[in-house]
Amino acid sequence: MFDKIIPRSEDYAKWYTQVIRRAEMADYAPVRGCMVVRPYGYALWENVKEQLDSRFKATGHQNAAFPLFIPMSFIEKEAEHVEGFKPELAVVTHGGGKKLEEPLVVRPTSETIIGYMYSQWIQSYRDLPVLINQWANVVRWELRTRLFIRTMEFFWQEGHTAHATHAEAEEETLRILELYTDFALNEAAIPVIPGRKSESEKFPGALTSYTIEAMMGDKRALQAGTSHDLGQNFAKAFDIQYLDANQKQQHCWTTSWGVSTRMIGAIIMTHGDDQGLVLPPRIAPTQLVIVPIIPKNRDTDKQAVMQAVDSICETLGEVRYHVDDRHDYSPGWRFNEWELKGVPLRIEIGPRDLAKQQVVLARRDIPGREGKAFTPIANVAETVKDMLDTIQADMLKRATEFRDMNTFEPTTYDSFKEVVEEGFARAWWCENAECEEQLKAETQATIRCIPIEQPDGDGVCIVCGETAQDIAVFARAY
């Protein structure tokens, strides 16, 4: 018997952890709050990485590797930065059997050490821009952890760039925000909202932080990537200067931006259902599973079916497929397993199908009979490729509809308080921190972002009723 996972409606948090562990995506490590990413989860992460990395390279960025350890004194150089990160640091005090003169911090993020290196490398305007990214592990001492979403150690990419002017740095920050949005929509099928963070939610040390915000299956928000315009804050703290064309010393303008393994959590919570994971075809480790079904003790049938499977495989080209020929497991058991693992498409083939020169094609994103159809063996490869595209598009469409259906536009603070418990609330906000504070205290919702896309004109703040320039998106968040 296949052991079912708990339905989402019963306990969303428990569903989430069960799916991850049963699908062998990840596991808790014996070190509190740390995670092991298992091969199936890592294969998904590799596909995420590849898609992001090729976009970074296409926009002129290069990868590099900076040290894991940062001297404590570096962290302390930028006032807001140290305030934001000091409570979360893991500290190395001993090395090689001796106590260290200066403790080393295990990087929570790398603005400081990279800033130091940039101050060494950058001399002249000819050295700019510097466009570097690193794929790395970082550590933040989190008390309440959740696999992929918030763990003590996590994996990410962090881009760090230096520019001659503020305009160029701003342009870079927004270029990356667009790149992240493009990735989320077209690869992860997550309809994110790109926008600006409020002052209280921005990165410690940034001038302006941008974010992509997504709605999870429980209608809570998840910040899925951020891009920061750091102004000259880190350039001044680390003395990143260049000689301009007029032989004058100038401080650089820097940016930083990151997407982490949290994206995996976003994919799981955006698309998963009560059967388990539902992975977007473009980044799914396995796009198609082929399950041959052979009645017991029918060796002739078995041979014929397996031959047909081989012939199908030969036509599949670039499709990432897997043949599950574990004939000692029942077909139903195998179906359940691959549904749990979220493989987008399944081919079922038995002797009777073969006789009719057809197979059953089952879509993961449409459970049950509705998602099943017979298709001729003759052009099955083409059908599979088309179907994968269709699934990808439908997943984005479905997630977008879900988000829109659960996004409200309250016009009074009373209705705001009601609807924000049920999803996203879009409302005018005067950008006053006091309104933000009040609302957070009274509703537990936060300002997720001030979307880039805004309606014309202005309105009145949902809290205080004063004039407001922009709409903000409010939600309870992970």
- With a CB cutoff of 8 Å and minimum separation 6, the contacts of 71 are 102, 104, 105
Strands (E) across 164-313 are located at 193-196, 208-215, 221-229, 241-243, 249-251, 253-260, 288-292
- Binders in 386-425 for a copy of itself, by CB under 8 A: none
Shortest Å, Cβ 199 to a copy of itself: 25
For residue 406, with 0-12 CB atoms within 10 Å meaning exposed, 13-18 middle and 19 or more buried, which class applies?
Answer: middle
The residue range among 85-93, 197-205, 336-344, 450-458 that interacts with a copy of itself, by the rule CB under 8 A, is: 85-93
66 binds a copy of itself (CB under 8 A): yes
Shortest Å, Cβ 139 to a copy of itself: 7
Enclosing H/E stretch for 15:
helix 12-22
Shortest Å, Cβ 113 to a copy of itself: 7
* Residue among 13, 14, 54, 67 that touches a copy of itself (CB under 8 A): 67
DSSP reduced 3-state for 130: strand
Structure tokens of 111?
């603005």
x/- mask, a copy of itself, residues 17-56, rule CB under 8 A, reads ----------x-xxx--xxxxxx-xxx-xx----------
In sequence order, which ranges of 87-199 are alpha helices (DSSP H)? 111-121, 166-186
Q: Rounded to whole angstroms, how far apart are CA atoms 391 and 271?
A: 12
Compare residues 140 and 219 and give the one whose CB is closer to a copy of itself: 140
* 8 A C-beta contact, residue 248 and residue 312: no
13 binds a copy of itself (CB under 8 A): no
Shortest Å, Cβ 30 to a copy of itself: 6
x/- mask, a copy of itself, residues 155-194, rule CB under 8 A, reads x---------------------------------------
For residue 378, with 0-12 CB atoms within 10 Å meaning exposed, 13-18 middle and 19 or more buried, which class applies?
Answer: exposed
The residue range among 66-74, 207-215, 296-304, 373-381 that interacts with a copy of itself, by the rule CB under 8 A, is: 66-74
Q: Rounded to whole angstroms, how far apart are CA atoms 266 and 264?
A: 5
The residue range among 63-71, 174-182, 275-283, 389-397 that interacts with a copy of itself, by the rule CB under 8 A, is: 63-71
Binding site for a copy of itself (CB under 8 A): 27, 29-31, 34-39, 41-43, 45-46, 62-71, 74, 86-97, 103-104, 106, 113, 116-117, 120-121, 132, 136-137, 139, 141, 143, 152-153, 155
